[in-house]
Each structure stands twice: as C-alpha cells, then as structure tokens.
A and B are shown apart, each in its own frame.
Chain A
C-alpha cells in the first residue's frame, strides 16, 4: 500500500509539472518579450508577446500580452495588424481598466492606420462606457473629426468639453479660434473639377485660372492658339489637308487635354488646401493638448 501511494504521488508530481509550467512559460515569454522590446527588437518582441498570448489560458494575461504586442507592432508601424490583434481581446479584456486600454489602443491604431471613422467610433465607445477615463481621449476624437471633415460636430464637441480638461485661458481662446476657422464661411474653398472643366471648355485656360494654376492656363491657351495659327497658315497657303492633319490635330489634343487637365488641377488644389487646413487645425489641437496634462500623458504613452 505504501508503495502504491508513493507511486501515485510520484505520478501526480510528474504530471503536475507540465501543467504548472504552462503559466510559467507564458510569464517567461512575456519577460523575454519585454527584454527584446527594451533592446529595440520590436518584431521579435511582437512574436514573443504572441507566444505569451498563445501559452496563457487566463483572459487578463492574454489581454496584457496583446496590449504589449500592440505596443511592439506600433513601433514597427504595423497599426492595422495591431488593430486586428486587439479586436480579439475586446470581448474578454477583463477588468474595466484593461478594457479601456484596449479601446484606447484600438482607437489610436485605427487613427494611425487611416481609419478615422473607426478611431472616432472606438473613442465614442470609450467615452460612453468609461466616462471618467474616456474624457482624456478628447484629443484623439477631435483629430479624428478633423480628418473626417465633420466641422459642426467638432465645434459642438469642443464647446462641450469639460472646463477641467482645458483649464487655461489661452486654451479657451484657441478653441474659439478653431470654432471660427471651422465655420462654414471660413472653410477653405474647394475647387469643383466639373466647374473647372466647364470653364476650360468655353474659354481655354480659364479652368486652370479657377483651379489656381494661372501659369499652366496661359501655357495651354497659347498652345491652342499656336496650333490654330499653324492650321490657318497652312490653309492660307493652300495646304488644306496638312492644315487639318497637323494644325487641327494639334489643336484638338491641346483643347481636350486642357479640359482634362483643368479638372485634375482643381481636384488637386482642393485636396492640397484641405490637407493644409487639416494640418493646421491638428497642430492647434495638439497645442491644446499640450495644456492638458491628461491628454499629454495619453499622447506620450501613445508614442
């Protein structure tokens, strides 16, 4: 009986070892990943964080590994991948503080991946479910609204900010300035490609002027006049066929090319102006965040 008991105890000991080691393996993988991360080996660190996720059977540990992996992926610029990986943790994130962190990272990665609608949506979720913590995400939300060109919503949002978040007088002035710049009258005027094409159809070069490229307009109009001149000169000298095949073929190329070019220039000008405007507004919002300690903390952790 004594031997049988000893045998059973030995078996239990031997069988228990691997099951205990699973949690240990996950912790070891986390430790190794942290070391790799500290050493700047972000790709290898992301793999080890994934290993920690794989080896762990506890939702909280999995979420922590996933968040750390997202940190490593952000360092390598793989925001979309970080977002996809974080999505698996959202339903099982565990305590509210972790779930909030997951939502924040998802919002940040969405923003950096160019999915501004997704970023705004995740921030709204964070603000709704975790009002206390979510308020600190106002900068990310405002930046997303700028990228989405939702000016009225941006104005309302900034007006409704908790005064505790933006305590300084100069910040209040900055918000007023943003509101003034995003009013309908102050927004950069877009150049309609269709209108530019229409103008170029009736008066060569005019569509280019409208699109903000007067030099190109003058060049295109001169080219059209020259080709018509070639046609006229050849026709006057009795070379009617040559006038058509050389002069008029050149003219139609310049004419229709000018119409198409005017439309493209208008679209390019509108995009460039809007990009510059968004850049300017984003800088103003970031300087606002510089006055907000909570947002500054968030911005630093995001970097």
Chain B
C-alpha cells in the first residue's frame, strides 16, 4: 500500500516534470537559446539576431530569467557586430538577477563610452550594484579612471589612479599605460587658432607649421609665394591698372586669406586628430581587461 501511494504520488509529478522538460514551453525556449548560442559561436550573428528578435516578440511567454538571457544574447550579438549603442541598450536591460549582470554592465558602459557617451557610461558604473568583490571593484575603478581620461578630467583620474596599486593582473599593464596617457594629455601644447592665423598673415604657411602641419605649411608658402611673384611680374610689366595685374592680385589675395583661415582651422584639426588618437588608445586599454575578465 505504501508503495502504491508512493507511486501514485510520484508518477504524476514525474510526468509533469519530465514531459514539461521535453515538450513544455520553457525547455523549448532553452533549446532555442542553446541553438542561438551555437549560431553565435559559429559567427552566424545575423541568424542569431533574427531568432532572438523572434523570441523577444514572445516577451509575455518569457520568464524573467529567459528574458534576461534573450536581452544578454541580443546585446552580445550586436556588440560582436559592432552596433554598440543598440548593444548597450540590450545589455543594460539585463536585471541584477542574471549571472551575466556584471558583464552586461561593464560592456554596456564600455559601448556607451566608445560612442562618446561618457557621462552615461560613468553613471552606469557608478550605480553598479555587486556583492563585495575585489576584482569587480578594481575593474570599476579602472574603467571610471579611463572615462575620466576620456572626459579630460585629469584630477579625478589621478584620484582613481591612486588605487591602481591594488590593480589586479587583469589590467595592471593597461593601468600603467593610462598613467602615461595622463602625462601625455597634461603635457599636450595648447595651440591657439588666433596665433596660427596671425603667423600665417606674417609668413604664409607659418601658422600651419605652428599647428604641426609642416608639409601643408611649406606647400601653402610655395603657392602664395608663386602667386605673389606672378602678380609682381604683371605689376612690373604693365602697371597697377592692367587687367592681368588686377586678376592676379585678386587671386593671390584670395589664396593669402584662405591660407590664414586654413592655418586657424589646422590647429583645431590637429587637436581633434591628437584627441582622437588618444581616445582610441584609452578605449583600447579599457577594452582589453574587460575581454580578459569576462571571456
């Protein structure tokens, strides 16, 4: 009798659990996610994204855990396709219950930083909630320090860099390079567009040399000098009232003024190029530890 009771109780339970495990919706979704992961591992990101979009359409049927998995995988697929802003929005939609929570927050913030949304990235990391973990705490400090450099806040960077002594092996080399970037940024000469324009007004092309564009400066000088010499030639041969002189003088004047303006913009161009190069290096060094820690 005991056995019969046991069996009668056990059988429906087993049927419910196992048949649910085989045919029920949740296991089907698990199988679908398993297939999506397989596609992503093969590099079939378009296909994986297509399936994930279809899964997301059935959001009502997804448990919170499944919804987190779908968001994480969509964000990760988009990250691999270098669509960083949509990737960030999916990654940051993952709840704190997910085992991928830390990864999604760090990569979501990094994606935002890569697209120039530094303040949003900082905000994500500032409110990051995790149980006491030296790795996560150190990584957050390192990423926030990188964001300080990107935003040009060298004082805040130096504060955070004080805690680089605790840097884990995951980012110790990158932390060292960040300190070098800080020094490079602090020591970058502040060139003035006004000074560049003034120098080019005195000697055509000199403003571009001052801006760090030596070749452009020499070329500008040669152009203006050749045109000036041509104008003088016409002046010498046919006087100041001749059409040839007036035409040549007008053209030379336009080139001369254009060279002054070009020198002023060359300073901004040079600063943008320098800033862009530094930003790329900083972002690269922020990225490597994340890949090492979470892959």
Q: A157 contacts the other chain (Cβ, under 8 Å)?
A: no
- Type the 1/0 row for A27-54, where 1 means its CB is closer than 8 Å to any CB of B: 0000000000000000110110011001
Contacts of B7 in A (CB 8 A): 3, 6-7
Is the Cβ of A47 less than 8 Å from the Cβ of B50? Answer: yes
Contacts of B50 in A (CB 8 A): 43-44, 47
Q: Which residues B1-48 have CB closer than 8 A to chain A?
A: 3-4, 7, 10-11, 14-15, 18-19, 21-22, 35, 38-39, 44, 47
Which single residue of chain B is at the shortest CB-CB distance from A21? B22
Which single residue of chain B is at the shortest CB-CB distance from A55? B35
Nearest chain A CB to B45 CB, angstrom units: 12
Return the contact of A14 from the options B19, B47, B229 (Cβ within 8 A). Answer: B19
Return the contact of A242 from the options B15, B22, B248 (Cβ within 8 A). Answer: B248
Return the contact of A241 from the options B35, B38, B47, B232 (Cβ within 8 A). Answer: B232
Binds B, one of A58-66, A215-223, A232-240: A232-240
Q: B135 contacts the other chain (Cβ, under 8 Å)?
A: no
Choose among B14, B50, B230, B244 the residue with the greatest number of A CB atoms under 10 Å from its CB.
B230
Contacts of A6 in B (CB 8 A): 7
- A241 and B21 contact, Cβ closer than 8 Å, known pairs A3-B4, A3-B7, A54-B38: no
Chain B contributes a number of interface residues (CB within 8 A of A) equal to 28
- How many contacts between A and B, using CB within 8 angstroms? 57
Contacts of B10 in A (CB 8 A): 7
- Type the 1/0 row for A217-258, where 1 means its CB is closer than 8 Å to any CB of B: 000000000000000000001111110011001000000000
Q: A169 contacts the other chain (Cβ, under 8 Å)?
A: no
Which single residue of chain B is at the shortest CB-CB distance from A47? B47
Q: B237 contacts the other chain (Cβ, under 8 Å)?
A: yes
Nearest chain A CB to B18 CB, angstrom units: 4
Contacts of A237 in B (CB 8 A): 237
Give Cα distance in the complex from A240 to B234, angstroms. Answer: 10
Q: A301 contacts the other chain (Cβ, under 8 Å)?
A: no
Q: A10 contacts the other chain (Cβ, under 8 Å)?
A: yes
Contacts of A238 in B (CB 8 A): 237
Contacts of A239 in B (CB 8 A): 233-234, 237, 244
Is the Cβ of A50 less than 8 Å from the Cβ of B44? Answer: yes
Give Cα distance in the complex from A24 to B229, angstroms. Answer: 88
Nearest chain B CB to A54 CB, angstrom units: 6
Is the Cβ of B14 less than 8 Å from the Cβ of A14? Answer: yes
- Type the 1/0 row for B215-234, where 1 means its CB is closer than 8 Å to any CB of A: 00000000000110110111
Q: Which range contains the number of A residues in contact with the other chain? A: 20 to 34
Q: B154 contacts the other chain (Cβ, under 8 Å)?
A: no
Is the Cβ of B234 less than 8 Å from the Cβ of A14? Answer: no
Is the Cβ of B230 less than 8 Å from the Cβ of A242? Answer: yes
What is the interface of chain A mostly: helix, strand, loop, or mixed? helix
Choose among A6, A44, A51, A238 the residue with the greatest number of B CB atoms under 10 Å from its CB.
A51
Contacts of B4 in A (CB 8 A): 3
Q: A300 contacts the other chain (Cβ, under 8 Å)?
A: no
Which single residue of chain B is at the shortest CB-CB distance from A46? B47
Q: B179 contacts the other chain (Cβ, under 8 Å)?
A: no
Which single residue of chain A is at the shortest CB-CB distance from B231? A242
Q: B51 contacts the other chain (Cβ, under 8 Å)?
A: yes
Contacts of A249 in B (CB 8 A): 226
Give Cα distance in the complex from A240 to B229, angstroms. Answer: 10
Contacts of B234 in A (CB 8 A): 239, 242
Contacts of B244 in A (CB 8 A): 239, 242
Give Cα distance in the complex from A249 to B244, angstroms. Answer: 18
Return the contact of A54 from the options B3, B14, B35, B237 (Cβ within 8 A). Answer: B35
Give Cα distance in the complex from A205 to B249, angstroms. Answer: 35
Contacts of B51 in A (CB 8 A): 47
Is the Cβ of B35 less than 8 Å from the Cβ of A51? Answer: yes
Is the Cβ of A18 less than 8 Å from the Cβ of B21? Answer: yes
Is the Cβ of A245 less than 8 Å from the Cβ of B15? Answer: no
- A242 and B233 contact, Cβ closer than 8 Å, known pairs A10-B11, A14-B14, A14-B19: yes
Is the Cβ of A245 less than 8 Å from the Cβ of B227? Answer: yes
Is the Cβ of B15 less than 8 Å from the Cβ of A14? Answer: yes
4 tightest CB-CB pairs across the interface, nearest first?
A: A241-B233, A3-B3, A14-B18, A242-B233
25 interchain pairs, CB-CB under 8 A = A3-B4, A6-B7, A7-B7, A10-B11, A10-B14, A11-B14, A14-B14, A14-B15, A14-B18, A17-B19, A17-B22, A18-B22, A43-B47, A46-B47, A47-B39, A50-B39, A50-B47, A51-B35, A237-B237, A238-B237, A241-B229, A241-B230, A242-B230, A242-B234, A245-B230
Known: A15-B18, A43-B47. 7 other contacts (CB 8 A): A14-B14, A18-B22, A51-B35, A54-B35, A239-B233, A242-B244, A242-B248
